[in-house]
Chains A and B, each alone.
Chain A
């Protein structure tokens, strides 16, 4: 698959091109935040509030309006992209990796090891995720990295379940038996013949999970154990402002739209990526 045909494939699907543009835009915001943001994200400006102290709607001076403390919303969103993207990628990546490792090992070595691993997974599934996150976050001092780890600890269970089921069905297939008949060891079978088949699942979960991760981070922020203010994240902007939804709808609308657009774009790109790396789908459209 050459880069040229890849580009043509993207160009033929305008929705995919748009999704890619959104993701590139979000990454650009995260990397170049100090250059792109018109103001500092935590600068509480005097002229950012009306005379009776209400936040300002979008105007030429503040493109997306200001929040209740007179901070520029656009700047906060641009800096928030940093936090949210970081948590989305790190937390999700970790969750998918842990989940796959547990699922694949449990599925391939069924028996005692598999049983123990999957019962542990069941236990984690049954445990209320939010409660677990609160306990973990309360025990450890809240910081961006801790929040990411806490979210990963909560989110890996679904991936483990799916990885387990898929591995079980793969392990029964004839080509795995054929590998064993050729003398391949477990490590080779796992890494070369089972994991590659799970990549599509991992991609779909990795991208689907970004939306839930951003939202879970927002929930944790709301409870005061997430990303600590004044550091902005898309989630905590929504939660800080939700009681002003009636009087200042832009405060919820813009960060909400950012979360939605990013999550959707990741899903679309993930789907396209999955089709692209599946040899049986190649040449189709």
Chain B
């Protein structure tokens, strides 16, 4: 067997804290063979990004330090290299692509200038512009000559990530480190980028270290997998053995927590998590949310004189939602699903008809709207951003009660404590601030806050997208339990088909501001009528390495 391209041996990394050094990476060892894709998989805080930054020697010097170990690239220890030699190596022999292609590209430089710069630095090539065009061709970007003159904001997210890949591969690196390269992308785009990476690996003879939290992506891409937890590699195996016979408990939990598309085939509605029987709404009860011909128009900013053009973000959307049921709004970014969610709560101006609990809300003033606000609440994607960082969480939970002048201060405190308990947190935590909690706990706090007014409808906008899979499953279970005990109706907005399948009774698929397909979850998932729905479902990575799809690569 040939020597590995890259080997990491006993790598330890310390973080500098006020209490002294704290080890964040414990004795991490792995080898990357030629032409291989190794996935470093783990949840947030597992140390996967620290590992990749250590290989690049890009750890933030002020806070992180390699304490022990060796990183060998073709027999040469990277940790012993002087910075100048390391700089030649970066981008030349070892290249990296990041999660967010927009922030990794310089917004004021044209694509061509950035690509040729990368090629010139490492190869001093005279024909850099021509090579740049060839690279864009290689990553299947249509009309490469024109793209070279464009700027990052003129390209779509998928195209930007293709440019990043072109840049990374332009010097034919021996190792490509991809840190969550598709996490910020839509699922159909993700499928394209993953296929592209698989094809290019062969063409360029590059070995790939792929860092991801998504076991579906692991199943599709990896030859071998290393599972990280708390800064340690706890299991390392070939991808098929790992998925079929995981050795460690943690790996098993991780795999079990991955929602699988098709897991609820043959069932109506989400699983029951309590013994309470499903509500039978009395006939004639008005729907909790009724929407007809909803349209939201954004006026693009005009020039100094003359009006801007109007952009229809949501057009002709109609649906209704009854007590105790969940309607999933699914679609990719820009499909108008979040805008719909805000419009039905009257947070943005809209046209059309929206009725909350039978009361039309169109044209209501802030004052007239206030009593209706008690009936409908919202849970956002990023729980940290949606909590006031200067407010203790008990006060945050009691905030809606205070706004509506319900109860005395001490009654509100009691209610907050009770709500904390309701979502599985200790009431003693009430005096802490949001930054002292983990992501999953923060989302529980947001749910508690949304429950304070005993609403009938909760709009959940990508509410679990920012959470690790194992935490996500528990938050979803909590939401199901609350629905069953309180008869809540959810408008569940997500891009994640598997989460939608688990949570919803009914589904509406949105694209470019319109509903392209709607119906019961079972009907839509088991017999999708629209081509776009089928495309969405086909693009979801399957957490089963033996069933790798052959997605046809579409040039962009």
Contacts and interface: CB of A to CB of B under 8 A. Distances in A.
A175 interface: yes
Contact of A173 (B369, B373, B374, B385): B385
A15 interface: no
A274 interface: no
A168 interface: no
Interface in B233-269: none
Interface in A130-146: none
Contact of A174 (B345, B369, B377, B385): B385
Given A181-B347, A181-B373, A174 B380 contact: yes
A177 B347 contact: yes
A185 interface: yes
A180 interface: yes
A174 B453 contact: no
Contacts of B546: none
Contacts of A280: 389, 433, 435
A271 B345 CA distance: 41
Interface stretch (B68-76, B399-407, B514-522): B399-407
A252 B18 CA distance: 43
Contact of B373 (A183, A188, A196, A278): A183
Nearest to A278: B390
A184 interface: yes
A182 B453 contact: yes
A182 B347 contact: no
A279 B400 contact: no
B117 interface: no
Contacts of A174: 380, 382, 385-386
A196 B385 contact: no
Chain B, interface size category, equals 20 to 34
Contact of A178 (B366, B369, B386): B386
A196 B392 CA distance: 13
B390 A279 contact: yes
Nearest to B395: A192
B399 A179 contact: yes
B178 to A, nearest CB: 29
B166 interface: no
Contacts of B391: 193
A12 interface: no
Interface in B316-354: 342, 345, 347
Q: Which of A177, A181, A280 has the most CB of B within 10 A?
A: A181
B404 A183 contact: yes
B139 interface: no
A279 B395 CA distance: 14
B403 A184 contact: yes
A279 B392 CA distance: 9
B399 A182 contact: yes
Nearest to A280: B435
B299 interface: no
A13 interface: no
B77 interface: no
B135 interface: no
A175 B453 contact: no
Given A188-B403, A284-B18, A181 B387 contact: no
B66 to A, nearest CB: 25
Interface in B359-405: 366, 369-370, 373-374, 376-378, 380, 382, 385-392, 399-400, 403-404
Chain B interface helix/strand/loop/mixed: loop
B435 A182 contact: no
Given A174-B386, A280-B389, A280-B435, A181 B403 contact: no
B380 A279 contact: no
Interface string A148-185: 00000000000000000000000001110111111111
A277 to B, nearest CB: 9
A166 to B, nearest CB: 13
A52 interface: no
Contacts of B342: 177
A279 B390 CA distance: 6
Contacts of A183: 369-370, 373-374, 400, 403-404
Contact of B18 (A180, A185, A197, A285): A285
Contacts of A177: 342, 347, 378, 380, 386
Nearest to B379: A178
Interface in A179-237: 179-186, 188, 193, 196-197
B317 to A, nearest CB: 19
A181 B433 contact: no
Interface string B401-439: 001100000000000000000000000000001010000
Interface in B143-199: none
A190 to B, nearest CB: 13
Contacts of A197: 390
A280 B389 CA distance: 8
B344 to A, nearest CB: 11
Contacts of A178: 378, 380, 386-387, 446, 449
Given A174-B380, A280-B435, A182 B386 contact: no
A279 B373 contact: no
B398 to A, nearest CB: 11
A182 B388 contact: no
A193 B389 CA distance: 9
B366 A175 contact: no
Given A181-B377, A188-B403, A175 B387 contact: yes
Given A181-B378, A284-B18, A175 B347 contact: no
| Nearest 8 interchain pairs by C-beta | A183-B373, A174-B386, A174-B385, A182-B400, A279-B433, A181-B378, A178-B386, A183-B370
Interface of A: 173-175, 177-186, 188, 193, 196-197, 278-280, 284-285
22 contacts: A174-B380, A174-B385, A175-B387, A175-B389, A177-B342, A177-B347, A178-B380, A178-B386, A182-B377, A182-B400, A183-B369, A183-B400, A183-B403, A184-B403, A185-B366, A188-B403, A193-B388, A279-B392, A280-B389, A280-B433, A280-B435, A285-B18
Given A175-B385, A179-B399, A285-B18, 9 more contacts: A174-B386, A181-B345, A182-B373, A183-B374, A184-B399, A185-B366, A185-B403, A193-B388, A279-B390
